[in-house]
Each structure stands twice: as structure tokens, then as C-alpha cells.
Structure 1
Amino acid sequence: MTDHQSHTDVFRRAVRDLGRRRFLTTTGAAVALAFAVNLPATGTAAAAELDPRRIRDNPFTLGVASGDPLPGSVLLWTKLAPRPYETGGGLPSGTRVPVRWELARDRRFTKSVRRGTTLAHPEFDHTVHVEVTGLASGCDYFYRFLAGSWTSPVGRTRTAPSAGAQNSRLKIAAVSCQAYQDGYYTAYGHLADEDVDAVFHLGDYLYEYAVNATGGNRHYTDRRLPDVFNRETVSLEDYRLRYALYKSDPDLMAAHAAHPFAMTWDDHETENNYAGDVPEDNGPSDAFLIRRAAAYRAYWENQPLRRPQRPSGPDMKLYRRLRFGTLAQFDILDTRQYRSDQAYGDGWQTPGPESENPARTMTGATQERWLINGWRDSRALWNVVSQQVLFSERRSVPGADFKLSMDCWDGYPASRQRVLAGVAATGIDNLLVLTGDVHVAYALDIKEDFRVPSSRTIGSEIVATSISSGHDGTDRPANADTFTQANPHLRFAHGRRGYVTVALGKHEARADFRAVSAVSTPGAPVSTVASFVTEAGRPGLKRV
């Protein structure tokens, strides 16, 4: 039995035992959580330090990344994993490793700006998070990591403009949903070549489902994946290893190295359609929180996230705000951790008293207040919400007998109405909502009252299709015509894989929907399948 198997078995036994006896005190639950996810000790000095010159194989197999650009600051990430598909990445257990980092204004590092040394701790699976400050705002930088004789790939990042900058242009990309087993990450290879200031990931970076030896829909013939991936992620080691598989994809590594990412999760980073502390199968919450703690910890370890996002047990404050001069404010939401359980058992249901209960929430009261107060204080021309599930109403069929998805904002209409009331109360004119989840590209007008098609348009929702989830897809989804008839505010639907870029300017925002022809084979070309603009001060999407 391997160390990983032993750890996983202990974890699963703990979950079963916890589900049977249900901890009666907060203290007891906290102890169980600390045990199950192997939280680090109060200090890490006890760990032995490994001389990086003893690392015989390339430790930078998972590339580099940067994230959450601020004025004058960047966050740099990497992980040491000479053998990424093994527990501990192939490094001696219990050892910390010194890692050098460099930041420069040129790719050849002749114009060095900052450099330093940090430690890759075993408690964080030898991941590295370096927050570099004191930089120029709105500038490109290049970075790399060094361990012993090994040098990482070079990454490019970009700081945000200063708070009062009168910037007139910003271009971002939005991506979501990248099931490894569903196909190749070809879209990421093309995104790496785009000129964008930042990439906003809208969730489902990871899927908890098993990946077989041939990579599922990738149909590998030249290699076989280890059996460790051919099961659902449950324990901390499961999640860590699954991130290693996903991050070993060369197209994903290229995109991370090319652009800073602003991350948020959806459900699959933990478990499909969970809601707060309620798992998909409605099992014991105490047991599920152990799994959530493991998933959240692995998420922070493996993403370019700053120190305030570091989780504590089963909790992690992921919602946050990024500002890009006076042009744009981005409010990044978490619509999983604080939501009420899905009404009527989830799925597509006829709306009724349970789903329309005013007490139901998608964001939790604290995050909801934070969002609306942020709009009240905003001085940005464009206010952009980066979030997970469809915000606009999406009826299943025309007429009175429609159903709605209980997992989307349609299952939380009172919560959505409070947000829309916040738009009106704060007087923001240029609202954009970026969404993922549904594996389809959509362009929608956000209506003041979705029940009245002629009501005022108060913003636009841009939905990024998946990177790979859903296999190749089709140009025209089978339900597109029905959805368009049932939802007049739906302006566009496209079912291939890809991403969307959004260029923000002083007078308009332009969304270009980019799609690849296939993900079942590598190397497919990318094309722009539709473009829309919305004018500043005049909400509503127009196709161009």
C-alpha cells in the first residue's frame, strides 16, 4: 500500500465515522478538519532544508503563473515537482527547498528589477507564492524561478494601472470549464498568443471526476496516465495530484506564462453542484466540510492567489476586488461557498414558493453588501462582475410552462433582485457580468425585469464557453432556437469550445467570441464566431 493510498483510506474512514456520529461541538469538528487535511504546524522551521543542487530532475514541470495584478504589485507562482504525478512531486518528504526568483523588464533578464529567495514548504506541497511590491504601475514584467541548476520557463506579467490613471484601453479574456478528460486545451494555446492585460477564470478549473489511463477523450496512444487519476478526488492528496495532471498540459502552461490570471472557482473544484456546506448527495455537512477543506487548500496551493485568500480549514475568502485605473473595476464573486441549498432538489424545475423565498441567497449577506457598497464607492467607467453561473433569466421553453435551472441565479431570484436593486441604487451605468459554467457562449441583455421583455436594459452579460468541457460541441446548440424564443434578451448562442475577449474603452466595450473547431484532436484553428459592442451610457448589446 502506498503512502497516498494509506492517507486516502484514513481520510475516507474518517468521513464515514464522522457521518455516523456527527460531531456535536465546534471544537470537535475543528479537530477532525485539522486531522483530515494535514494542516501545517504553527511553525515550519522543523522541516529539514534540502540543498536544491541535489534535485536531479527538472522541478519546474508545471510551469509558472502570475495573478491578481495590482498597481505596483504582482503575485508570482510555481511548484517544485520533479515527478508531478507522484505524492509530494518526487521530492523527499518533510523537506523545504530554497527557491530563487527574478523579475526584469526584458525577457533576457538584462534589466533586473527585483530578486529574492523564498522557501517551498512541504506543508504547501512545495508550491511558491511570491508577492512582489514596489513596481511601476501599468507595466509589463518578466519573471522566472531558479532551484539549484534548474531554471523555470519565463513568464510575462503586467501590473495594474495606478488608482487615478486615466487609462483609455483595457483588454481581458474570460475562460471557464476545462475538464481534462473531455479534450485538449487548444484554446489556451491560442489565448497565449492574444494581447490581453489579464485573464479572468470563471470556475471549473478542475473536475473531480476520474480520468482513465488514455486521458478520456484525448485518446492517448503514446503514453498511459497512472491509476491514481482513475478515481474521484476526495482527499487532499487526490486534489493535489489532479492539479498536477491539469497543470502539466502545455497549452495551459503557455497561457499562464503569457498572462496574469484572476481566479474564482465554481463547483467542480470541490464537488458537482454543492451549495455551501451541503454536498451533492445531501449527506452530512460535517463530513462534507472535511472534503471542502481539502479542496480549498489544494486550490489555493495551486493557483496564483495572494495571502488574504489562504484558506482556514473549510473556509476561504475568495471574493475580492481589482481596479484598473479609472476605466474598470472588477468584482470577483464566490457563488458556491455561501449560497443556500438549491431549491426543489436542484435541476430544471418549475419556479415556486421554495425557489422564490426572499431569504434565499446566492452570495451570502456579507458578500452581497460588499458588492453593492463597492459599486457605491466605484469611480470606474465600467463595473465588471466576474462570477460563475448564469445571472440572466433563462427559461426552458416559451409560454407559461417553463422551467428554470435551480443551480443558476434563476434558482435565487430574490438574491438577483437585491443585486439589481443595488445597481439602481448606486447609479452605475455600465454593468458587465462575466459568466462561465454552461459550456456555451452566450450574449445577453440584463433586464430590469426579466418578466417584461420591454423593461429597461441595465447591463450586459457575456458568457464564456468552455475550454474543453462538453467535448467538441456544435456551432448551434440543439436548444438554441427554443432558448432564444423563450428569452428575447438572449442575443447569441454558440456551442463550440474557446474563450471570449472583452476590450474596454472610453466609449464602448467590445466582446469577441473565439472558438476552436475541435478539442478531440490537438492543434485546431481558432476563429472569431461573433462580436458584440455595448456603448458607454447606453446599455444593450449590438452585433458588429
Structure 2
Amino acid sequence: MNPEQRRAFLRKAILAAAATQLPRWAWSNAPALQSNPFALGVASGDPAPDGVVLWTRLVLANPALMQAAHTVRWEVAHDVRFAQIVQKGEATALPALGHSVHVELQGLAPSRWYHYRFMLGDAISATGRTRTAPAPGDLPATLRIGFASCQRWEHGHYAAWHHLVADQPDLVLFLGDYIYEYASPKNTTDLARTHNLRHATTLADFRDRYALHKSDPALQAAHAACPWAVTWDDHEVQNDYASGTGKGDDGSFLTLRGAAWQAFYENMPLRAASLNGPASGTRWDALQVYRRLRWGRLAHIHLLDSRQYRTWQACRTPQSTSAGAVRAADCADLASPARTLLGATQEQWLDTGLAADAHTKDATHWSVLAQQTLLSPRHYPSGVTSADNWDGYPAARARLLQAVAQHAPRNTVLLGGDIHQNYVCRVHANPDRPESPVVASEFCGTSISSRSGTTQDKVDAIARHNPHVLLARCDQRGYGLADITPTRWTTTLRVLDDPLRADSAATTLARFVVENGRPGPKPA
């Protein structure tokens, strides 16, 4: 099978597997299962007013079963006992897609919670809970979003997810680094746990890595509690990669990246539309994860991708393992207007979305830019510039802020992750001029488990050097909660007492509010 034939096969297979009604296979031929096929849990994602994506991925111990396609039954009900089933059907779990299932529901009622489950033979999955978004013209009174990122297995247990489930969010935004590609360190001092997987480079490696992370019961509970909307950062592929370039020769890196992207699709509750990106056909070198989610007129979430289309980091040497930092005086490329973090197509897409938020008849109350890292500058006392985040792409940041200032949506809030630190910032129209108008608010969340790699003394020095920074903490793991109403946005930063304990308690580090029509966070 040549590459074009393989792409055509995968295209048809994915569309078939995502269908909600398929030809019935005889249930009498159900496989003889030797273990729980739903050991990786269930999930839902990308809620719309009339539907949502349901996900699971089969774990099949029998080698013969692993080579075959299987029919998975699914049910959606109003009640947890499934006495009031509203939809049911079948989907095909294909070995070519890691036996993953993506069911795209339609025809549900807006702004309503549902229960769902999967079945294979006599096996029944855990029950998941999901919900639809409000109707387009509705203005709901509240929306609670949990936002999180960066969950390296070895650095901590996933106690944060237990607490997020207890907080009962309507939606979780996961902002990147769902997995880490590394093998466990040889020095296991101060690690919460280890694994025996090798550094991920192949499709099998990446499938195994997702299976490892998804084996965690706290993470499974969080997926089952509500719908998620996910994007990626670098560690789903390779540390600090940029577009089609990473460590290794171009050909081997693109093969690795394709394997990693396929595994990402297989393991996330994504719609088949993500396979119809800028490049045509079903290809693992083109997976579109930037998209929009609308929560009635209350919130419009622009979920961004700052990895796939970015320019190579300024003054980074070929084959280097990380982007590092540069000095502007020694790196003329840093200020080049041609450099981009989002790519020209995504920049224009975002500009169009912000304009629509501001100028449509039923203007959005809160425009949310959910992306990977910290947009606000961190001017280091040492004079160096971090090359891998928005500081390394100042012209691209200026274009984004110009779009926000020009279109002036009613309220713009940025959510980010990546840096394993909590930051709360006022976003100025000109980030290098603190006297310029404040045009947005930013909340960059800490990690679920990954260490920050710095000290609080250094972070305090950065905060003193940057007056737009209202809070900066690197010493605690956790997640963020955003409680949104038509008149107020409240962010609560939740942190763990001890990320090395699976039963760690959690406390509130800080709470900030943004008032409708008044950009800039203020302590609550």
C-alpha cells in the first residue's frame, strides 16, 4: 500500500469509526475477553449545543484480538442507571487507530448533562458524565472552567485531578504536555514514581505512553466528570520542537512527529474535523487542533496551537536539544517581523474571530484565548530572553495584541501553561511600555505535576522587574478554576500541599477577579 492509498484507507476508516450508526455485527461473535478492555477509561470533548465527542480506547490482552477490528456499543442516557436512554449505537475500534473510538453525537438538547458508557461483549466501561453547550443565542448565568497542563508522570501524583473533580467544572481546558516523551531518570531521588518505558520515538512508544498516563485513576475520574477541550505543546512530540524541525535529521523527525500526532488523535476526544486541516486528506503531518468553542453568548473560547506552525527559535543552533535563552543584542533574528508563533493562517483566523466577538449583533461577553504558555513578557534582571515562549516571538506577540486592541472585544482573557508556574498579569497594548493601556487579563497556570526547574527567589526577582506581574509562584503544583458570569470573571488558583502524595490535600493560593469592561485582574 503506497502512502496515498494508506491515507485514503485511514480517511475512510476514521470517518467510519466516528459514525454514530454502523452496520450491526453479530453480538454472538463478541470476543472472548481476558481482561477489562476499558482499562484506559472514557472521555468526552468539544461540546456543541447539540452534541459532544465520546471517546474510549480498547486494551486487548489477546494478540489475536489486537489484530482485529471490534464493534463497540455505546449508550447515552439522562440518568446514571441508563433507565432513560436517549441515544445508542455502535462504532468500530480499528487496529490502525489503536482501537480508539470517537463517537460524534448529534441531536442532543443544549445546555444539558448526560451520562454515557461503552460496551464490548459482556464488558461495560465506567460511566462518564458530559454536557452540551448552551444554544448560540443564550446567555447562561455561569460557566466553570478548569484549566491545567503539564503532567510528567515521575514528578508527582495526580492528586490535583481529584480536587478538580470535586470542584465540579462544566468544562476542562487542557493546555499541553499531556504526556512527556522521556524515559524515567536514572536518578530516582525525590521522584513520586517511575516507569519502565523507553524514550518515545515510535507509534507503539507513544501509544504506550498515553496508556501509562491514562492508567492513573485520578486522571480517569477527571475525564469522566465533564467534557474536555485539549490542545498540545511540545512534549507530546519532542522537547522544544518547532513546526517540522526538531532534534535529528528532518526525515526521521517528521516520522517521529507523525507517530506522535497519530497517538495524540487516538487518545483524545477530538472530532474527525481535526483531520481536515490546512493540508488535504487524512495525514499525520497535518492535524488541526486550533478551533473555537462557543458557550452561548457568555464565552467564546479560541483554542490555539503554538507548536505546529511556529518559526524555529531565534538563534537556536541546529540539533540542539532545547531552545534556551538569548540576548537581544547578540541575536538580530529575535526581532524579525517575519517570525511567527501561530503561523500566518492561524493568526488571520484568530484576528477574524476576535473581530466577530466584538462586532456581531450578540457580542460575546468573554473572549478566551486558551493557549500553551505565558503571553506577557518576563524581562529578566540578567537581560536574557527566553526563546521558546512569546518572549522569543515579540513581533508575533505585537500582532496579536494589536488585534485585541483594534477589535476591542468586550473582555479578553488569556489562559496558559507550559512554564510550571502560576502567573497573573495585566496585559498592556505595548508590553514594553507599562504606561500603555491594559487591554486584557492573563492567568498562566502551574503544572499538574511537573517541576518548575527554578527557585522562588529568582521568580520574585522577575516579578519585581515586571510591574505588570501581579503574582508569580513556582513552588507549587495544581490547577486553575475560572468562574465566569456575564459581569465578572473569577480565577481561583488551587495548589497541592505535596505533589509526591497521591492523597495530597489542596488549598487556594490566590483568587483574582476581572470586572466586565475593566481589563486587568484584581485580587479578590
TM-score (norm 2): 0.89
**Structure 2: stretches of 5+ with no match in the other structure:** 17-24, 276-281, 317-322, 358-362
Question: What's the CA shift for 1:232?
Answer: 0.7
Secondary structure class of the residue paired with 2:59: coil
Question: What's the CA shift for 1:219?
Answer: 5.2
**Structure 1: stretches of 5+ with no match in the other structure:** 1-29, 84-88
Q: 1:509 to 1:91 in 2, by over 3 A?
A: farther
Counterpart-to-counterpart distance in 2, 1:117 and 1:339: 39
1:313 pairs with 2:284: yes
Q: Residue in 1 aligned with 2:456?
A: 477
Secondary structure class of the residue paired with 1:192: helix
Q: Residue in 2 aligned with 1:175?
A: 148
Q: Tell me the alpha carbon deviations over residues 177-235 of structure 1, each in whole angstroms, 9 at most, x when there is no partner.
A: 00011110110111111121100000000100013799985555xxx95x4x1x21000
1:58 pairs with 2:36: yes
1:396 pairs with 2:368: no
Question: What's the CA shift for 1:507?
Answer: 1.1
The 8 Å contact of residues 33 and 313 in structure 1, kept in 2 or not, is answered as no
Q: Residue in 2 aligned with 1:288?
A: 253
Counterpart-to-counterpart distance in 2, 1:430 and 1:543: 18
The 8 Å contact of residues 155 and 192 in structure 2, kept in 1 or not, is answered as no
RMSD of aligned C-alpha atoms?
Answer: 2.5
Secondary structure class of the residue paired with 2:347: helix
Question: What's the CA shift for 1:57?
Answer: 1.5
Q: Residue in 1 aligned with 2:351?
A: 372
Secondary structure class of the residue paired with 1:312: coil
Q: Residue in 1 aligned with 2:52?
A: 74
Question: What's the CA shift for 1:142?
Answer: 0.5
Q: Residue in 2 aligned with 1:263?
A: 230
Counterpart-to-counterpart distance in 1, 2:188 and 2:301: 35
Q: Residue in 2 aligned with 1:347?
A: 324
Alignment of 1:107-126 (within 5 A): 107-126=80-99
1:429 pairs with 2:410: yes
Q: 1:34 to 1:335 in 2, by over 3 A?
A: farther
Q: 1:43 to 1:99 in 2, by over 3 A?
A: closer
The 8 Å contact of residues 364 and 410 in structure 2, kept in 1 or not, is answered as no
Q: Residue in 1 aligned with 2:340?
A: 361
Which of 446, 452, 456 is equivalent to 2:433? 452
Q: Which amino acid aligns with 1:300?
A: Y
Secondary structure class of the residue paired with 2:491: strand
Q: 1:115 to 1:213 in 2, by over 3 A?
A: farther
Secondary structure class of the residue paired with 1:101: strand
Q: Which amino acid aligns with 1:324?
A: W
Q: 1:520 to 1:38 in 2, by over 3 A?
A: farther
1:336 pairs with 2:314: no
Secondary structure class of the residue paired with 2:209: helix
Alignment of 1:220-235 (within 5 A): 227=196, 229=197, 231-235=198-202
Q: 1:214 to 1:404 in 2, by over 3 A?
A: closer
The 8 Å contact of residues 460 and 472 in structure 2, kept in 1 or not, is answered as no
1:385 pairs with 2:369: yes
TM-score (norm 1): 0.86
Q: Tell me the alpha carbon deviations over residues 129-148 of structure 1, each in whole angstroms, 9 at most, x when there is no partner.
A: 00110000010000000111
Q: Which stretch shifts more, 161-170 or 304-313?
A: 304-313
Q: Tell me the alpha carbon deviations over residues 444-475 of structure 1, each in whole angstroms, 9 at most, x when there is no partner.
A: 1111112221211110111111000018x99x
Counterpart-to-counterpart distance in 1, 2:444 and 2:299: 18
Question: What's the CA shift for 1:442?
Answer: 0.9
Q: 1:81 to 1:456 in 2, by over 3 A?
A: same
Which of 219, 223, 242 is equivalent to 2:209? 242
Counterpart-to-counterpart distance in 2, 1:63 and 1:216: 31
Q: Which amino acid aligns with 1:123?
A: A
Q: Which amino acid aligns with 1:350?
A: R
Secondary structure class of the residue paired with 2:154: helix
Counterpart-to-counterpart distance in 2, 1:215 and 1:243: 21
Aligned length: 494
Secondary structure class of the residue paired with 2:259: helix
Question: What's the CA shift for 1:159?
Answer: 0.5
Counterpart-to-counterpart distance in 1, 2:267 and 2:202: 15
Q: Residue in 1 aligned with 2:19?
A: none
Counterpart-to-counterpart distance in 1, 2:5 and 2:412: 41
The 8 Å contact of residues 154 and 192 in structure 2, kept in 1 or not, is answered as no
